[in-house]
Structure 1
């Protein structure tokens, strides 16, 4: 049943998502090409418009799947969804998995466009892409492949967790006690979630024994807080940057998923 639900999500949303990605990609690429005409002021505006378009691709796709989730789970179509002979956790898993896939695919489309944008930018500056990226290449060489891979995985994790948490908050907001607020309930929930994530991220960054040593570029099992306090006292930049949020964030998401599944299966109230 899970596979069937996932395929249904793809059938109903994939074409729409692909259409938006295609339109935004064409706009971004077209603006890039036009900026090469080197028109005073206009080329800069076109280049900024291109950057805005490619950055907006995952945002727009995320908004699409979010609206669809709300309409099919908590809106008028939720009555049909809740009649399916399957547990709420399966429905939640299928819908969030499709949303995660859609957002990650949109990000994957944005990456080569981003490289093209950067190549266009440095061309207008009159230098080569290799020259522009040389400092980054040296930094990556110093950090090591393992650290760079870890940072890349953390970035992917952040996209995945945002999608899951937003879906969870919408499901939690559809409980009977908050139903009268409509979409206001998840809107308030998202504000609260942002605040909670900031507090958790700060605590995890300072207190969890997992940091990036800026002097060596290596990940070390040390807490940032003592070194941070020492750096503040000495009026210096800290050489340890805590990355414990990579461990704490999934815990917050797991709690929200548990709460969302419980809300879907026991407390969902449709209007």
Structure 2
């Protein structure tokens, strides 16, 4: 596993370094813009400090998905498939590496936002403390911790849908459709299945976080309330977003084991 992870690092370090470096460069320029005190540049700079790290984290799953397809099933994929290593182990290495990259991107993005804001926002420390105090006053700490963990998992597992589409879409049943057609079809079907599952889960689990007893707590809602209120955060979709990636990981591993692996 260590050797495979090292190979993933060496293979992707240039591209990832470019993306991480680009986010840093944009934030650095944005800080300079804010410091000019010119209204147009200052406003643009303040927005870029938030936008650049967000784009980095948002774009990485797709970038990793494309790289996964190219290195596993594209032109260079044949070499990967001929390695004398069980397919699921190769997939596990790619999966662990993608998780590591997304986690690193989250830390990098948070650092860029905090440093950029500290350099441009007066009394940023006091503002941050006030934000934390008001947040913990509204949300109980256990709910806040669970919410953060769920959000991190959703971001870290985002590449899984692309891995699933690339591997299942490259199985023999899709072979005659062309190299890219299978993954595109599988991803499209998966997208619609996701929407149906989320909608069904929100009907079956009508829980939300919203105003309750003068504070914030768990409440039971109907879907019509979501359109009429901005104070309600539905929770029904959470089990789908947490559990479906686990199922996709299992099915992708099956694809590597019985339909792709040559080991």
User: In which range does the TM-score fall when normalised by the shorter chain?
Assistant: 0.7 to 0.9
Note the 1:53-72 alignment, pairs <5 A: 53-72=52-71
* TM-score, reference length from structure 2: 0.82
Distance 1:175 1:89 in 2: 15
Match of 1:228 in 2: 222
Q: Is the 8 A contact 1:204 1:242 kept in 2?
A: no
Task: Name which structure has the greater RCO, CA cutoff 8 Å, separation 6+.
Answer: 2
Q: 1:37 to 1:181 in 2, by over 3 A?
A: same
- Compare 2-11 and 132-141 and name the one that shifted more: 132-141
Distance 2:47 2:224 in 1: 41
Distance 2:231 2:36 in 1: 44
Match of 1:247 in 2: 239
Q: CA RMSD in A?
A: 3.1
Note the 1:1-271 alignment, pairs <5 A: 2-119=1-118, 122-123=121-122, 130-131=126-127, 134=130, 137-179=133-175, 180-208=177-205, 211-215=208-212, 216-218=215-217, 220=218, 224=220, 227-228=221-222, 237=229, 241-268=233-260
Structure 1 residues 200-238: Cα deviation after superposition (integer angstroms, max 9, x where no partner): 2222233237543532434x5x7x3xx327958xx9749
Q: Is the 8 A contact 2:49 2:113 kept in 1?
A: no
Query: Unaligned stretches of 5+ in structure 1?
Result: none
Distance 1:73 1:28 in 2: 34
Q: Is the 8 A contact 1:171 1:264 kept in 2?
A: yes
Structure 1 residues 131-161: Cα deviation after superposition (integer angstroms, max 9, x where no partner): 5874663232231221111110011011122
- Could you list the structure 1 runs, at least 4 aligned residues long, displaced by more than 4 angstroms after superposition: 117-123, 229-232, 235-241
Q: Is the 8 A contact 1:228 1:238 kept in 2?
A: no
SS in 1 for 2:144: helix
Distance 1:3 1:229 in 2: 48
Q: 1:150 to 1:172 in 2, by over 3 A?
A: same
- Compare 194-203 and 87-96 and name the one that shifted more: 194-203
Q: Is the 8 A contact 1:174 1:185 kept in 2?
A: yes
Q: Is the 8 A contact 1:211 1:242 kept in 2?
A: yes
Q: 1:18 to 1:172 in 2, by over 3 A?
A: same
Query: Unaligned stretches of 5+ in structure 2?
Result: none
- Compare 58-67 and 76-85 and name the one that shifted more: 58-67
SS in 2 for 1:217: strand
Give 1:191 shift. Answer: 2.8
Structure 1 residues 99-141: Cα deviation after superposition (integer angstroms, max 9, x where no partner): 1111120121001222244456654xxx866358746632322
Aligned residues: 259
Distance 1:128 1:99 in 2: 33
* TM-score, reference length from structure 1: 0.80
Q: Is the 8 A contact 1:58 1:106 kept in 2?
A: yes
Q: Is the 8 A contact 1:171 1:260 kept in 2?
A: yes
Q: Is the 8 A contact 1:210 1:243 kept in 2?
A: yes
